[in-house]
Amino acid sequence: EYSEPAYLKKIEAFDESQIPEPQDLPAAARRLAASPNLVSRRWIYEQYDSMVRTNTVAQQDPSDAAIVRIKGTDKALAMTTDCNPAYVFADPYAGAMMAVAEAARNLACTGAEPLAVTNCLNFGNPYNPEVYWQFVRAVQGMGDACRKFGTPVTGGNVSFYNQTQTGDRTEPVYPTPTIGMIGLLENVEERLGLRFQAEGDLLYLLGGHAREMGSSEYLRYMHKVEYSPAPYFDLEEADRLVKGLLELNAARLLRSAHDLSEGGLWQALLESAIASGMGFEVQIEASAEGGRKDRILFGESQNRVLVSVSPEQKDAFEQKTIELGIPFASLGKTGGQNLQISGEDFGALSDWRANYMETLERIIESEPDYFDEAE
């Protein structure tokens, strides 16, 4: 048996208007960028072999999914794993759909068509009715999303009893239905990356501006908000965006593509700039989607992708995107060595790059050695 968790009442009571707007957006961005959930994982993944029998493609041109060449053909496989437990905690059904949709978006951002899914479902004690409710709703959401994207679940794993005992209190982990998805690139030379390709390219936001800040890293890390609604999500829009990305890439209308997830628009812009060594100049309007610039920059509404387009392809791109039924916003352009948003200077790219690349290592090396202590 199962029942809705009592904490859902706290989520329903969340009031965005009670969150103070930052007076200094660049300072807020700097604080948010220090979150361990947003910094580069380079310190971890560079310790492992990434060549995979020399089939790994474009290590110096990062993308939203790993790409492995199929030797003897023009094809390649793209792979990604995705889940944001905070979304699932706020709404297990929608949160699990978001995990599937983000995986599909990440593949589409490389030019790969989603094929199939595996999963690892991590939850607390299933004999706790509230935990089992999370599990049931997450499985339902995952199933509905997989059917929409045509990605069968080929296998997976269920891990229960993930919890911490503190005195008389048992605290389950956030529900974490991790999705692994694989996709196919018919021609590896037509792959897309996330880095900006040339100065003066035009920046667009597919899917439109954020509609809310619910369950965002901004709320959790900056404002210590534990209970807020899951981000906006629509499964039909998610499917339309994935198919549209594949069509736009097939028409060679995109120079780069980067999914928006944790950290919202700001994080996507920052990561693409760091990867390319190229800054940007964009405009965001305070009137967009309700007025708050922190929502526009840091909100995590789903089904959104940052793309760059050559100026010569501007008209063709906009016409095709309209035909596909995908809303979009023109943001600005790439170029320079600074990050500029609506006339505000957010600082030099070199400073942002150093902080992004080195923060996780500093955090880990400043902590005690837990493995030695455990021995």
Sheet holding 66-69, edge to edge: 66-69, 76-82, 176-185, 113-122, 153-159
| Per-residue model confidence (pLDDT) at position 368 | 53
Q: Report the alpha-carbon distance of residue 58 to residue 50 in Å, rounded.
A: 11
Strands (E), the chain: 66-69, 76-82, 113-122, 153-159, 163-166, 169-172, 176-185, 202-206, 256-259, 280-282, 305-309, 328-334, 338-341, 344-348
| Per-residue model confidence (pLDDT) at position 302 | 98
Q: What is the CATH number of the domain that holds 146?
A: 3.30.1330.10
| Per-residue model confidence (pLDDT) at position 42 | 82
- Please check whether residue 315 lies inside any domain of the structure: yes
Select from 100, 105, 79, 106 the least CA-distant residue to 88: 100
Work out the end-to-end distance of the chain between its first and last CA atoms, rounded to an integer number of angstroms.
Answer: 40
Q: Are the C-beta atoms of residues 330 and 204 closer than 8 Å to each other?
A: yes
Show the 3-state SS of 190-205: HCCCCCCCCCCCEEEE
Of 143, 172, 191, the residue that ends a domain is 191
| Per-residue model confidence (pLDDT) at position 370 | 38
| Per-residue model confidence (pLDDT) at position 46 | 75
| Per-residue model confidence (pLDDT) at position 285 | 76
Of 161, 191, 221, the residue that ends a domain is 191
Residue 54 identity:
T
| Per-residue model confidence (pLDDT) at position 48 | 73
- How many folded domains does the chain comprise? 2
With 0-12 / 13-18 / 19 or more C-beta atoms within 10 angstroms meaning exposed / middle / buried, residue 347 is middle
Q: What is the CATH number of the domain that holds 323?
A: 3.90.650.10
Q: Based on the fold, state whether residues 255 and 299 are members of the same structural domain.
A: yes
Q: Based on the fold, state whether residues 213 and 291 are members of the same structural domain.
A: yes
Q: Based on the fold, state whether residues 63 and 78 are members of the same structural domain.
A: yes
- Please check whether residue 146 lies inside any domain of the structure: yes
| Per-residue model confidence (pLDDT) at position 224 | 98
Q: Based on the fold, state whether residues 242 and 94 are members of the same structural domain.
A: no
Q: Based on the fold, state whether residues 231 and 178 are members of the same structural domain.
A: no
Query: CB-side exposure of 326: number of CA atoms within 13 Å?
Result: 29
Q: Based on the fold, state whether residues 234 and 304 are members of the same structural domain.
A: yes
Give the residue numbers spanning the domain of 207: 19-39+194-375
- Please check whether residue 9 lies inside any domain of the structure: no
Q: Based on the fold, state whether residues 270 and 360 are members of the same structural domain.
A: yes
Q: Based on the fold, state whether residues 177 and 199 are members of the same structural domain.
A: no
Q: Report the alpha-carbon distance of residue 298 to residue 140 in Å, rounded.
A: 29
Q: Based on the fold, state whether residues 123 and 241 are members of the same structural domain.
A: no
CB atoms within 10 A of CB 37: 13
Query: b or e along 321-337 (b: 16 or more beta carbons within 10 Å of the residue's beta carbon)?
Result: beebebebbebbbbbee
CB under 8 Å to 337, separation ≥6 — which residues?
278, 279, 348, 349, 350
- Please check whether residue 326 lies inside any domain of the structure: yes
Q: Which residues are 170's β-sheet partners? A: 165
Q: Are the C-beta atoms of residues 82 and 97 closer than 8 Å to each other?
A: no
- Please check whether residue 59 lies inside any domain of the structure: yes
- Please check whether residue 230 lies inside any domain of the structure: yes
Q: Based on the fold, state whether residues 159 and 243 are members of the same structural domain.
A: no
- Please check whether residue 10 lies inside any domain of the structure: no
- Please check whether residue 259 lies inside any domain of the structure: yes
Number of alpha helices (DSSP H) and beta strands (DSSP E) in the chain: 13, 14
Distances (CA, A) of 121 to 15, 85, 87: 31, 11, 14
Of 191, 223, 257, the residue that ends a domain is 191
pTM of the model: 0.94
Q: What is the pLDDT along the chain (375 residues), one digit of tens a residue?
A: 899 999 999 999 999 999 999 999 999 999 999 999 999 988 887 777 666 566 677 566 899 999 999 999 999 999 999 999 999 999 999 999 999 999 999 999 999 999 999 999 999 999 999 999 999 999 999 999 999 999 999 999 999 999 999 888 999 999 999 999 999 999 999 999 999 999 999 999 999 999 999 999 999 999 999 999 999 999 999 999 999 999 999 999 999 999 999 999 999 999 999 999 999 999 997 655 557 999 999 999 999 999 999 999 999 999 999 999 999 999 999 999 999 999 999 999 999 999 999 988 888 887 655 334 443
Query: b or e along 197-208 (b: 16 or more beta carbons within 10 Å of the residue's beta carbon)?
Result: beeebbbbbbbb
Q: Based on the fold, state whether residues 30 and 54 are members of the same structural domain.
A: no
How many whole angstroms from its chain centre is CA 201? 23
Q: Based on the fold, state whether residues 149 and 206 are members of the same structural domain.
A: no
Query: CB-side exposure of 284: number of CA atoms within 13 Å?
Result: 24
Q: Are the C-beta atoms of residues 206 and 241 closer than 8 Å to each other?
A: yes
